[in-house]
Amino acid sequence: MLRLFSNFNTALEAVFTNRLRALLTALGIMFGVAAVIAMLAIGTGARQELLEQMKLIGSNNIVVKTVLEEEEKVSGEQAQKRAFSPGLSMDDVRAIEAQIPTVETVSPELVLQVKAIRKRRSEEARCVGIRNAFFELNNLKVERGSAFHSLQMKDGLPVCIIGKSIQTKLFGGENPIGKKIKCNDIWLTVVGVLGRRYTSQNGLENLGIRDYNSDIYIPIKTALLRFENRSLLTSFMIQNEEQQESNPNYNQLDRLVIRVKNTTQLEATADIIGRMLKRRHWRVADYEITIPELLLKQQQRTQDIFNIVLGAIAGISLLVGGIGIMNIMLASVMERIKEIGLRRSLGATQTDVIQQFVFEAVFISLIGGIVGIALGLLLAEAVARIAEIPTIVSLWSVGLAFGVSVAIGLLFGIFPARRAAKLDPITALRND
């Protein structure tokens, strides 16, 4: 142990005597380790964001959204009439539930823009007609109060559940349960408040979903009876036909979220739903069907490939750093031939010389690894702040980078050390 400690001290003296050379040698390891930590942090952050997005959309879900077709124009001032379609409606919901056995549940949604008023406070908001299944499919929990009960759903009573942001803006710190808010001309009694859902704005935009914290939720029947049923033809619409939009929204519903019983049945069920809606809508493409989970999995595969490429680049940086250590150590051996010969003549064995040069290489790698870890942490934080990309630095990534830096010093230091140890002492002493 004393001999080993002596060899270690000799190696440290050599490193500190040539501080500039040691620093330049460690640069390759520094940047390699920093790149590994930063790349792993970006990859872990992206994976975590994908998992959060999966929670937002729920598992085994198929989404059917309405699409407003632009009226086809022909020559002159006449326009070609669009084929008739009843639009996305509750009849579609009942047909899907009754005829497709792989479907577990269907959640219809009707989104209405309203002005919510409470005392002297007002807020532009979305009023969303739903069933209770909506909360389960989107992994939302009622934090205060309760979900809609069967009588409220069946009779279309004027009740609502509000998101956290609506509670803050309209009620402040006041308990909203049992109190009323006015949405357009309809008074609604608050029966529940959703727990806050934390998610990035990018995540919401990528999935094409709303901010659940800022919505007011009412029973779907309440929305159709008391607010708007776009599938009904009213006398007012007939009288004002010329003033109507050229492409009005005639869909009773805006979106369906359909949960399938088994993940393996997602694509097949989506195909069957597409065929059914195509027949029910008289081949009018006023809807689109997406499978968010498959889209996210494809995005995850793309992200994994990207991470592999970035990891390979970081690995190459470490390899170049290791080669740099080997080259510098070989140059050091050539510069210190006389010193090696003197140590051998004073009784140092080949093992002592090997240990000295290996210790030097490992120590330089350790310095590069420690500085590289600090640089990697700063780089990950800078990426998160500047590029607004989520980054997560895990302990295992830091341990991996540190272990790799030590291993590189050990592996690339062995060859120069063995070469130094094999020098003939007499020949080394004669070297100028």
Q: In 156-291, which residue ranges form alpha helices assigned H by DSSP?
A: 164-171, 201-207, 220-222, 235-239, 266-280
Task: pLDDT band for 294, please (50, 70, 90 cuts).
Answer: low
The pLDDT assigned to 355 comes to 81
Structure confidence at residue 395 as a pLDDT band (50, 70, 90): confident
pLDDT digits 0-9 by tens, 362-393:
888 888 888 889 998 998 888 888 877 788 88
- pLDDT the model gives residue 57: 64
Report the DSSP beta bridge partners of residue 121. Answer: 118
Q: pTM of the full predicted structure?
A: 0.62
146-164 mean pLDDT: 93
Rounded Cα distance between 301 and 297, Å, is 6
In the chain, what are the domain boundaries? 2-53+298-430, 58-295
In the predicted model, is pLDDT for residue 115 greater than 60? yes
Share of the chain above pLDDT 70, in %: 81
pLDDT of res. 416: 74
**pLDDT at 74 (0 to 100):** 38
Amino acid at 150: S
pLDDT digits (tens, 9 = 90+) for 318-366: 777 777 777 777 777 776 677 777 777 777 787 887 887 788 888 888 8
Average pLDDT rounded to a whole number, residues 86-95: 93
User: In this predicted structure, what is the pLDDT of residue 296?
Assistant: 61
| Tokens 């790149």 -> residue | 35
**For 287-349, where are the alpha helices, taking DSSP H only?**
292-335, 337-345
Compute the distance between CA of residue 213 and CA of residue 181 in angstroms, rounded to an integer.
Answer: 16
Q: Which pLDDT does position 58 carry in this prediction?
A: 64
Residue 88's CB: how many other CB atoms inside 10 A? 28
What's the pLDDT at 158? Answer: 95
DSSP codes, 108-160? EEEEEEEEEEETTEEEEEEEEEE-THHHHHTT--EEEE----HHHHHHT-SEE
Q: Which of 138-152, 172-186, 399-413 has the lowest mean pLDDT?
A: 399-413
Structure confidence at residue 199 (pLDDT): 59
